[in-house]
Amino acid sequence: MTAGTVTTQVYRVWIKTTPEAVWEAITSPDWTDRYGYGGIPEYGDMTPGTKYVTNAGVGMQAVGVTGPIIDGELLEIDPPKRFVLTWRMLMDPDAEAEGFTRVEYDITPQDGGVVRLTVTHDVTGAPLIAAMIDGSNEDAGAGGGWAWILSDLKSLLETGAALKS
């Protein structure tokens, strides 16, 4: 796909684990800083309508990034099946100006102890975010987007260790 032209991006990964483990990994600050870009979210009491921020995690702090990196609002919380939130990137003024996008996590148990995790990111009107999350900016050091995050999450849950990249 050409960067930024698909306004809703869908990523799927199949993980040998439980729905509860995936739920923890995407919602608990104990887990969210261990894979992908990391980050420590403040989701409060996890109720719809909660305004949240995600603060820079250990890895980002090590390279001088501090303070909130993402903010938004929790929309749907249905553990361990579905988590929906709005999502605005605060690390770059131009990306922040694109406003709130929408992220949906759907966790579906499959036969044989396998879980399907589907991430649907609606980036309508947010071409910079679209390019970040589809990995187009990886050569510029921006990381590999959702493919990287989900690959890392899968390694962490299946092997106990994240990727070393």
Rule CB under 8 A: which of 32-71 touch another protein?
Answer: none
**DSSP-assigned states of every residue in 6-45:** -SEEEEEEEEES-HHHHHHHHH-HHHHTTSTT--EEE-TT
C-alpha distances out from residue 66 to 55, 62, 63, 87, Å: 7, 9, 9, 18
Q: In the bound complex, what is the minimum distance in angstroms from residue 8's beta carbon to another protein? A: 5
Please tell me whether residue 23 binds another protein under the rule CB under 8 A.
Answer: no
Counting every residue written for the chain, the total comes to: 165
Query: Do the beta carbons of residue 32 and residue 125 sit within 8 Å?
Result: no
Q: Which of 12, 30, 44, 67 binds another protein (CB under 8 A)?
A: 12
Q: Which of 33, 71, 98, 122 binds another protein (CB under 8 A)?
A: 122
Q: Which of 49, 64, 93, 112 binds another protein (CB under 8 A)?
A: 112
Q: Which residues bind another protein (CB under 8 A)?
A: 1, 6-10, 12-16, 82, 104, 106, 112-114, 118, 120, 122, 135, 144, 147-148, 151-152, 154-155, 158-159, 163-165
